[in-house]
Structure 1
Amino acid sequence: MCGIFCLLSLSGSHSECEKTIKEHLRRRGPDSSRDVTVTGSDARYRCSLSAHVLHMRGHLTPQPLEDDAGNVLLWNGEVFGGFPVAAEENDTTAVSKRLSSCSSSSQILGVLSSVRGPWGFVYYQKAGDYLWFGRDFLGRRSLLWSFDVELGALTLTSVAACSSGRHWQEVPAAGVYRMDLKAAAACSSVTFEMFPWAHRGEDALSSCSEATLGCVPDGCCAVINQSGLVLPSPVCPLNKSTPLTLEITDFEQNTHFSAQDLERLLERQDEPETVKRLIDVLSEAVRRRVQCLPLREDDSVMNDHAAVAILFSGGVDSMILAALADRHVPPHQPIDLLNVAFKLQEPKKRSEPTKKAKKQQGKPAESRPFSPFDVPDRITGRAGLKELQNLNPERSWNFVEINVTQEELQKTRLERICHLVHPLDTVLDDSIGCAVWFAARGAGLIAGDDGQRPFTSAAKVILTGIGADEQLAGYSRHRVHFKTSGYEGLIQELAMELGRISSRNLGRDDRVIADHGKEARFPYLDEDVVSFLNGLAVWDKARLTLPRGVGEKLLLRLAARRLGLGPAAVLPKRAMQFGSRIAKMEDGHEKASDKCSRLLTG
């Protein structure tokens, strides 16, 4: 993984924002930094490429990587499948070798479409003076673009700076783009030739909307490639079948569900084989993402430093990731569970405890000291920790309590987080971006022999549960669509969720997590997992006639039960901004979709 940067100048001028952006990029890639400049044969264009590498696999390979033919690759990705990459081999080297052997556009597209794993890339192809760039089908790695009309300069970067005065956009994860650099220099204008992702049987035009072609920087234009070439989609299309009738079972009439009820449902329904297949494909996705990882140079198997961490709330998504990681992380290595909480305001003192407080847990209210960090996700996280300890008491589970005050939040947002969230700018982006940034930093407290002690996670890989709700109807809005429009409405919403996840979530989360020199990995968005879930009928994934905590993500809850998890399997969905209580720190009257003034730097 790395931070990549490309500045294409058609006038020879330099961009003012280059230095600021590279400071952000260095945090993504602390292990190696390098710059390469290429110019056209007639010196009418100048392409400055820079990369900052986080070493994850094989020998440390500095980027940009040049081959013997003069081609230059910036690769921000991981190859988890599609073609063999040996444990001691570097992903960038493997991809570069395959691209170097290509003599046609269709062959380059064949290499890119074969990769299983997240990627964003920029590739200077010397033969033909072409510049290729793009993101994987799901958009799991950030890539932003901006064009300065006055300077005639196109910038591509993993991270921008919201104070740069430039208008930044995320490169749509709708395909791969190619520029003819000679043609651009000759006419001083930029045209992107697009090669869209498409399912088998789709043509280039139907797979790429006018809106996508129009989503380019001001002063540029995009056109479908004249050959009609596409990248074959790495996942199968969504199953859009609907049931002829909707039968309500006695289970669906039950309003109070327990983990034992899930066990009985597992025994009597047709799902057991489907549940097993989900566990198998998800377990393999986790295995690919947690094995063959380098420990930090100062780590050893005898201390408490882990190679893998999990964004952990104790909910079913993160609990399953932890249970599956336990299968594949070497038994002597700890696993870090990163649990973030934002400080609550202390409630006003009462002269007499309320009846409700007295009844709670059978204790008088005054005997339970108020803890300002006992937010909902902290409480469920501790409960989840106990379940994991019961599941494998031999494993060292580092439950990292990450506590954030309002003062630290405001200072860090202004200095760092606003640049990482940019160009997204809503209240929701602010809440999620800040919560994920502090969680990924991993600086908090863990339990020791003499109470809690300071601890900072050194894990380079952070697993996150994003993708589960989007594919398995985990959000409350899915129930709304189901109630109003039945299965057809639910299917349309799920199709939209996966289609927009690159622009709504993934670029932001990649930028925020990577700012700590760590890599976000998304097992629920593994190509095989997505294909498996896309192939199922929607009622096999979720049964929204069942109550909250059961019906949404039902298939995942059944998998949790089969894995030996208990109460966590029936916890209702709680959004991170509410579970961590970051939403309580700010204006309570804001809507998630409102523009967030706190993300503006001036």
Structure 2
Amino acid sequence: MCGILLWFDKKAGFGDRLEEFNEGDVLEQRVEDALPMTYKSHYIGNRIIPLIANRGPNYSSLRSIQSCNTMWFSSILSLRQPFTTQSMCVGDRFILQFNGELYNEEIQFNDTQYIASKLMEQPNDIYGIIRELEGEFAYTIFDKQEQCIYFGRDSIGKRSLSYQCEDGILTIASVTGHNIDAPEYENCLAGVIYMFDILTTTLDTTTTIQSQFTVTSKEDPEQLSLNTTINELYETLSLAVNKRIESIHPKHIENSPIAILFSGGLDCSVLVALICQHLTQKNKQIVIELLNVAFENPRTGLQPCDAPDRKLAIQSATFLQELFPTITIHLVEIDVPYDTYLEVRPHVIDLMYPKQTEMDLSIAIAFHFASGGVGFIKDKTLNERIPYTRHGIVLFSGLGADELYGGYHKFNNKSTDELVIELTRQINNIHDRNLNRDDKVIADNGVEVRYPFLDVNVIKYSTESIPITFKTNKLILREMATQNLSLGFIALEPKRAIQFGSKSAKMTKDGNKNGTDLLK
């Protein structure tokens, strides 16, 4: 995970400068000193850059080049060797920023260096290079020769990226916060390759990585192809999980657990089981951390231990521990007192901007605390909970399963044609509805989240090959969880949204609030 900021302004007078910050450095004053005089105390320096820095705690740098009229700020969470600093000068022509993970088979080591090598080999085919990238990413590429800036997100939109283009000034950032005195930022659309012409200060948004996904309308009411489809989905999803395990550098995979955002339900338990299968096959003794969050809710009077997701998580974690006895599985119980919720609430509202509804907050704040990972684990010797803080810096999420396999309750009574239309809309809109918000609040804890269900091959198979009749109440995923993963009762668990399972929604006695209401 990294954070990226690019700021182009012909009038700024940035000068030539490179400032590097190692882990633990206090950067605010040095950033302030590096800004042009007219931009001292500017919101980019004192508001956006600290948010970018939180995303990559291992290293950050500020670079400015007078002839380019541009400043770059990059932060890095190092997961692949060799360690590669950013922003990265690629020959004399390009300056690259990359945030995310690539899973192209030919990548041997660092994925940022892989892109750099492609730029050196194919300097006149930037669009082609970007289209070939497979993974979860956002990027900026400054082409000095052509006087253009390219930027965007992967075809699903799994990494956040926003931009603001006004009066010839272009700003691109992983996270911006809400700055009252600043122009409005727009979230980049998934899969659009944005190209900004420096000479004309115009922005082109017409080029895309690929066309949108379309859910097939084919049916199989007699379920003749069910077993074949189950096995094909299992193999495709298992491969997506394995890619996301294998691309973690051995230094981290040996010394740091893999963490899963864990409600105890079907989607996340499927991922836990697949991860454990791969680790068992590889005979790797790695700790798995199941991050479960629950809130003290003054409206209901419930404590975290009473939350539905906490009760289910305990049951499911126990089941998984028995299913995979050679893997050490810790259920990390993250309790959020109401006072702590109130303290962190303004920061989460700031992070998730421009999302600003009650529902967005209740989801975002649950993910923020869950990914922070400060909680308790059960000490079996003492038979009591002891304090524990997450060690894993790579998190897995089950996001995407509901959109692909018909998990939302509102889908249950739809006709076949209506379900096809709705699922197509859901998967193509997930970048705006979920991913931009979730990435901002999770990465703020200096971790990286990976989405196996949103692997492009999983999406293509699920949308093009699985009959629509297998997508009522996630039939196909439940059958796979039973037949291929032996998940027992977990495979039958009903869908429950995180804000209701963790009790992060409707925290006060104001009963008139709806999820779509704007925050006050």
Please confirm whether the aligned pair reaches a TM-score higher than 0.5, indicating the same fold.
Answer: yes
Q: Which moved more, 1:514-523 or 1:164-173?
A: 164-173
Residue 311 (structure 2) pairs with residue 379 (structure 1): yes
2:87 is matched with 64
1:123 is matched with 141
Q: Which moved more, 1:512-521 or 1:5-14?
A: 5-14
Question: Offset at 1:23?
Answer: 0.6
- Give the secondary structure class of the aligned counterpart of 2:181: coil
Seen in structure 2, the aligned counterparts of structure 1 residues 520 and 487 have a Cα distance that, compared at 3 Å, is same
Seen in structure 2, the aligned counterparts of structure 1 residues 300 and 500 have a Cα distance that, compared at 3 Å, is closer
Q: Which of 486, 489, 506 is matched with 1:567 structurally?
A: 489
1:412 is matched with 344
2:452 is matched with 523
**Partner Cα distance (2:53, 2:504) in 1:** 28
**Partner Cα distance (1:495, 1:176) in 2:** 22
- Give the secondary structure class of the aligned counterpart of 2:412: helix
CA contact (8 A) 1:293 1:307 kept: no
**Partner Cα distance (1:138, 1:347) in 2:** 37
Higher-Rg structure is: 1
1:315 is matched with 265
- Give the secondary structure class of the aligned counterpart of 1:61: coil
Residue 434 (structure 2) pairs with residue 509 (structure 1): no
**Partner Cα distance (1:194, 1:316) in 2:** 38
CA contact (8 A) 2:157 2:435 kept: yes
**Partner Cα distance (1:507, 1:347) in 2:** 30
Residue 478 (structure 2) pairs with residue 557 (structure 1): yes
- Give the secondary structure class of the aligned counterpart of 2:61: strand
CA contact (8 A) 1:426 1:594 kept: yes
Residue 121 (structure 2) pairs with residue 101 (structure 1): yes
Question: Offset at 1:395?
Answer: 1.3
CA contact (8 A) 1:491 1:538 kept: no
1:155 is matched with 171
2:50 is matched with 23
| Aligned amino acid, residue 452 of structure 2 | P
CA contact (8 A) 1:159 1:420 kept: yes
1:240 is matched with 216
1:272 is matched with 227
* Superposition map of 1:226-305 within 5 A: 231-233=209-211, 237-243=213-219, 270-294=225-249
CA contact (8 A) 2:94 2:143 kept: yes
Unaligned runs of 5+ in 1: 185-190, 198-230, 250-267, 349-369, 544-551, 598-602
1:211 is matched with none
Question: Offset at 1:110?
Answer: 1.2
Can you list the C-alpha shifts for 1:207-249, whole angstroms capped at 9, x where unaligned?
xxxxxxxxxxxxxxxxxxxxxxxx345x8x4243255xx96x8
- Give the secondary structure class of the aligned counterpart of 2:458: helix
- Give the secondary structure class of the aligned counterpart of 1:510: helix
- Give the secondary structure class of the aligned counterpart of 1:407: helix
CA contact (8 A) 2:238 2:274 kept: yes
CA contact (8 A) 1:143 1:171 kept: yes
**Partner Cα distance (1:238, 1:85) in 2:** 29
**Partner Cα distance (2:504, 2:337) in 1:** 10
**Partner Cα distance (2:290, 2:427) in 1:** 27
* Superposition map of 1:32-47 within 5 A: 32-40=59-67, 46-47=69-70
Query: RMSD of aligned C-alpha atoms?
Result: 2.2
**Partner Cα distance (2:148, 2:66) in 1:** 12
CA contact (8 A) 2:152 2:190 kept: yes
Residue 36 (structure 2) pairs with residue 14 (structure 1): no
1:429 is matched with 360
- Give the secondary structure class of the aligned counterpart of 1:56: coil
- Give the secondary structure class of the aligned counterpart of 2:272: helix
| Aligned amino acid, residue 31 of structure 1 | N
**Partner Cα distance (2:166, 2:194) in 1:** 19
Q: Which of 376, 379, 389 is matched with 1:445 structurally?
A: 376
Question: Offset at 1:405?
Answer: 1.2
CA contact (8 A) 1:129 1:181 kept: yes
- Give the secondary structure class of the aligned counterpart of 1:75: strand
Question: Offset at 1:293?
Answer: 2.4
**Partner Cα distance (2:499, 2:215) in 1:** 31
Seen in structure 2, the aligned counterparts of structure 1 residues 574 and 324 have a Cα distance that, compared at 3 Å, is same
**Partner Cα distance (2:254, 2:210) in 1:** 43
Can you list the C-alpha shifts for 1:124-166, whole angstroms capped at 9, x where unaligned?
01111111111111111110112454xx422110011213522
| Aligned amino acid, residue 81 of structure 2 | G
Can you list the C-alpha shifts for 1:558-594, whole angstroms capped at 9, x where unaligned?
0110111111101110000000011141344322121
| Aligned amino acid, residue 176 of structure 1 | I
**Partner Cα distance (1:300, 1:479) in 2:** 43
**Partner Cα distance (2:356, 2:113) in 1:** 36
| Aligned amino acid, residue 367 of structure 2 | V
Question: Offset at 1:428?
Answer: 1.2
**Partner Cα distance (1:345, 1:505) in 2:** 27
Unaligned runs of 5+ in 2: 13-37
Q: Which of 75, 79, 103 is matched with 2:98 structurally?
A: 75
- Give the secondary structure class of the aligned counterpart of 1:57: coil
Can you list the C-alpha shifts for 1:336-364, whole angstroms capped at 9, x where unaligned?
0000000144988xxxxxxxxxxxxxxxx
**Partner Cα distance (1:22, 1:506) in 2:** 21
**Partner Cα distance (2:359, 2:97) in 1:** 31
**Partner Cα distance (2:149, 2:99) in 1:** 16
2:196 is matched with 179
Can you list the C-alpha shifts for 1:524-570, whole angstroms capped at 9, x where unaligned?
00011001101124434313xxxxxxxx1110000110111111101
Question: Offset at 1:14?
Answer: 3.4
The number of residues matched between the two structures is: 485
* Superposition map of 1:394-413 within 5 A: 394-413=326-345
The percent identity for this pair of structures is 31
Can you list the C-alpha shifts for 1:510-530, whole angstroms capped at 9, x where unaligned?
111111110010000001100
Residue 256 (structure 2) pairs with residue 324 (structure 1): no
**Partner Cα distance (2:216, 2:480) in 1:** 23
CA contact (8 A) 1:346 1:372 kept: no
CA contact (8 A) 1:344 1:375 kept: no
